[in-house]
């Protein structure tokens, strides 16, 4: 409890999150390579090698998305220390979209996580969903219990017993046996690393929390003994590979070899982040998973100072990470945002109030070195005109800000710095889809919302600088169009608060938010961005773009795709059919089994209404979702041939809040509207109010919107989201 009250807690969590994502990005390009292949083709892995293999550095990956998504079970179940494996299993069902999000979808008996997910869908609750007796020893003892576990440690700083207990409960959703013990060791190491820096002392604490006769216990003892007699890590690895390697332990990616490699690298890394990462990645096997866990541990233990030693690990990453899940408005994220979330989860788990830098600003730069995805725009007009870095001072309510150093501004040469609010390009989305981990995401920013920021000009600047906010949204060619706010003059030493309502982007998703600086010939200087955030509900109309580059009778040749990519697809129908432009309606919802959702928006939307024109072709029911927080947590207006219902969905079960006999007929067109204001839900059919109710339990206070169909097909002509009529 004491550590939670210290200022260092948030910074230590931030270092852990950074270590996690740096490790994953470092090891991902050569995942599952053997030591010999890595040595011959890449040499020792002392730094990022993605460019050698012609792949992006920042990628979607299960190690990251699972780690920072499954921990949301704490929020969803009231930050209870008594959270159960069954509740964490329900969290899987809520945030995972079948065969589309987070997991490696290798099939029953092949992918441990896919196997567990199928068990959960069958109604088998955790921990039985991951049990050896149901799924076999080899399947249940694969690596996954450990790769998702870091968040559970970071909410239990200095309390390895609690961390190991939470790890057992979370890991048991999909794993059992030695896999659970390995997860407990990692969680205990990380939790104790908040208050202990000695590696041997950390290991002593961790192994005391698992059975003395476990294989993990024996392997760690063997590796510790090996470390005392063989100082050469290359020679020592021969022992690990021979006695605990892939040849001995089967399946696709067994816990034992990879856990052993984490402990091995921790021992031989000389307490240095770069050397530790070099060893764990150079020796191969599941490199991104192992480097991710070990990077998190080293980040927590040695702090930001440890990460900042040696090469620049943080600059290329710029805090960026993706969390593709059913809650698509949280998919575009950054390390500082996730650190604040985890630290507040830890505080609330222990009965303390959450704390939010700079009154909850989305981009606050309050953590040392954080840039939260901001970088200089790369274009003919702006390349080379600006650099960004985190700096102390120049903040009204905090201690740090984002420093923007600009130089040689002139006509045609402007400085722009920006951060993503959606998928950064159509090409990168296509790449993620091909590699098996799609970037399921909605934009974080929408037309109608109010952006606010505070900007300060350095008092050493020699001239007045002109600045404005800007957004970039996709257009009919899936290229980016820029829109700027009215310019503001900044004199040397002055500060300005900027406010701007996002204009209508004509249904195109917003991909970037940024700050533009314009000056006279040769202007140089510094500007400081204290914070940038936005509030309010959107005012948007989402339909097929009016300018697609193809006519209605020739749509099969293609058109823009990013307006569709802004929808998170939780349907199980024919995806290619849904996505084609030749459909007469923009949205064709097809669900083969159960209920499917097509979702867009963010968790921050509160009091708003959604309207859509629908045609039920053939279905059990269809309608609209509001305050949607995943696949199983939302309110909905559901209409069938028998009538209409307002329901609250929770853990896959509906509670009917209100109902009437006003139904619909197949083949007819209907306009549906659903509004949420505080705890009151109101529904209209063809602009006639049909249902109104207050949810006295007030389950969901905010969330995205969704188009819904249940066993069948529904067509949708448009979707409109507006602030509620209060």
In this prediction, residues 525-536 reach a mean pLDDT of 97
Lowest mean pLDDT among 110-124, 415-429, 551-565: 551-565
Sorting pLDDT into bands at 50, 70 and 90, what band is 105? very high
**Structural domains of the chain ordered from first start:** 13-322 (1.10.4080.10), 375-537 (2.60.120.260), 567-723 (2.60.120.560)
Residues forming beta bridges with residue 242, ordered by sequence position: none
pLDDT reading at 499 higher than 80: yes
Residues 6 or more apart in contact with residue 143 via CB below 8 angstroms: 179, 182, 253, 254, 255, 258, 259, 286, 289
In this prediction, residues 8-32 reach a mean pLDDT of 97
pLDDT at res. 554: 38
Q: What is the pLDDT of residues 126-154, one digit of tens each?
A: 999 999 999 999 999 999 999 999 999 99
pLDDT reading at 190 higher than 80: yes
pLDDT reading at 118 higher than 90: yes
Residues 6 or more apart in contact with residue 231 via CB below 8 angstroms: none
pLDDT reading at 241 higher than 50: yes
Rounded distance between C-alpha atoms, residue 417 and residue 386, angstroms: 7
pLDDT at res. 558: 56
Place of tokens 């020893």: 137
Q: What is the pLDDT of residues 62-92, one digit of tens each?
A: 999 999 999 999 999 999 999 999 999 999 9
Global pTM?
Answer: 0.96
Rounded distance between C-alpha atoms, residue 72 and residue 88, angstroms: 9
Rounded distance between C-alpha atoms, residue 721 and residue 626, angstroms: 10
pLDDT at res. 431: 82
Q: What are phi and psi of 607, to 5 degrees?
A: -100, 100
Q: What is the pLDDT of residues 288-302, one digit of tens each?
A: 999 999 999 999 999
Q: What is the pairing mode between strands 608-628 and 704-723?
A: antiparallel
In this prediction, residues 474-480 reach a mean pLDDT of 93
pLDDT at res. 7: 73
The share of the chain scoring above pLDDT 70, in percent, equals 96
pLDDT reading at 19 higher than 80: yes
Rounded distance between C-alpha atoms, residue 321 and residue 183, angstroms: 23
Tell me how many helices (H) and strands (E) the chain has.
Answer: 23, 24
Instruction: Please state, rounded to an integer, the average pLDDT across all residues of the chain.
Output: 94
pLDDT reading at 653 higher than 60: yes
Q: What is the pLDDT of residues 685-696, one digit of tens each?
A: 999 999 999 999
pLDDT reading at 52 higher than 70: yes
């Amino acid at each position: 409890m004491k550590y939670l009250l210290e200022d260092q807690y948030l910074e230590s969590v931030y270092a852990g999150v950074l270590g996690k994502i740096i490790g994953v990005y470092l090891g991902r390009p050569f995942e599952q390579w053997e030591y010999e292949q890595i040595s011959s083709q890449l040499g020792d892995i002392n730094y990022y090698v993605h460019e050698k293999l012609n792949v992006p550095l920042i990628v979607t990956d299960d190690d990251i998305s699972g780690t920072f998504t499954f921990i949301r079970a704490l929020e969803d179940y009231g930050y209870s220390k008594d959270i159960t494996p069954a509740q964490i299993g329900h969290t899987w069902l809520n945030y995972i979209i079948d065969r589309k999000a987070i997991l490696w979808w290798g099939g029953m008996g092949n992918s441990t996580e896919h196997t567990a997910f199928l068990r959960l869908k069958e109604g088998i609750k955790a921990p039985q969903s991951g049990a050896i007796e149901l799924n076999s020893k080899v399947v249940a003892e694969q690596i996954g219990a450990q790769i998702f576990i870091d968040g559970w440690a970071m909410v239990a700083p200095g309390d390895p017993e609690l961390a190991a207990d939470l790890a057992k409960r979370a890991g048991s959703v999909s794993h059992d046996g030695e896999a659970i013990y390995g997860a407990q060791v990692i969680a205990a190491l990380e939790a104790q690393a908040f208050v202990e820096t000695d590696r041997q002392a950390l290991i002593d604490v961790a192994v005391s929390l698992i059975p003395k006769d476990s294989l993990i216990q024996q392997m760690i003892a063997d590796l510790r003994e090996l470390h005392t007699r063989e100082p050469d890590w290359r020679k020592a690895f021969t022992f690990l590979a021979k006695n605990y390697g892939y040849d001995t332990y089967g399946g696709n990616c067994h816990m034992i070899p990879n856990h052993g490699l984490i402990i091995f690298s921790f021992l031989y890394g000389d307490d240095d982040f770069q050397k530790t990462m070099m060893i764990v990645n150079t020796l191969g096997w599941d490199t991104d998973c192992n480097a991710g866990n070990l990077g998190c541990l080293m980040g927590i233990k040695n702090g930001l100072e440890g990460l900042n030693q040696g090469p620049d690990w943080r600059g290329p990453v710029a805090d960026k990470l993706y969390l593709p899940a059913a809650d698509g408005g949280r998919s575009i994220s950054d390390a500082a945002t996730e650190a604040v979330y985890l630290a507040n989860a830890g505080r609330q788990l222990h009965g303390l109030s959450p704390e939010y830098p700079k009154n909850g600003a989305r981009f606050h730069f309050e953590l040392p070195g954080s840039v939260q995805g901001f970088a200089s725009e790369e274009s003919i007009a702006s390349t080379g005109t600006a650099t960004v870095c985190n700096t102390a001072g120049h903040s009204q309510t905090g201690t740090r800000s984002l420093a923007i150093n600009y130089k040689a501004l002139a006509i045609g040469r402007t400085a722009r710095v920006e951060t993503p609010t959606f998928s950064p390009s159509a090409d990168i989305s296509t790449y993620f889809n091909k590699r098996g981990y799609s970037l399921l995401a909605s934009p974080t920013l929408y037309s109608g919302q109010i952006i606010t920021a505070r900007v300060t000009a350095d008092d050493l600047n020699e001239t007045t600088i002109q600045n404005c906010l800007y957004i970039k949204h996709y257009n009919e060619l899936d290229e980016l169009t820029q829109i700027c706010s009215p310019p503001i003059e900044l004199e040397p030493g002055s500060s300005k608060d900027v406010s701007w309502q996002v204009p209508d982007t004509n249904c195109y998703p917003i991909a970037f938010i940024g700050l533009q600086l314009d000056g006279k010939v040769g202007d140089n200087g510094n500007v400081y961005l204290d914070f940038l955030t936005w509030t309010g509900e959107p005012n948007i109309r989402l339909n097929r773009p009016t300018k697609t580059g193809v006519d209605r009778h020739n749509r099969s040749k293609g058109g823009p795709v990013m307006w569709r990519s802004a929808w998170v697809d939780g349907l199980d129908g024919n995806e290619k059919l849904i996505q084609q432009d030749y459909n007469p309606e923009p949205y064709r919802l097809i669900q083969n089994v159960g209920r499917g959702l097509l979702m867009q928006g963010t968790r921050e939307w509160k009091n708003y209404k959604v309207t859509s024109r629908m045609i039920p072709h053939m279905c059990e029911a269809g309608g609209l979702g509001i305050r949607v927080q995943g696949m199983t947590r939302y309110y909905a207006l559901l209409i069938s041939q028998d009538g209409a219902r307002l329901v609250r969905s929770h853990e896959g079960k509906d509670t009917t809040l209100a109902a009437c006999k006003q139904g619909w007929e197949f083949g007819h067109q209907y306009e549906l509207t659903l509004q949420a204001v505080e705890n009151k839900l109101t529904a209209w059919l063809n602009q006639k109010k049909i249902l109104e109710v207050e949810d006295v339990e007030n389950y969901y206070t905010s969330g995205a919107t969704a188009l819904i169909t249940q066993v069948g097909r529904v067509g949708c002509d448009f979707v409109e989201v507006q602030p509620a009529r209060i």
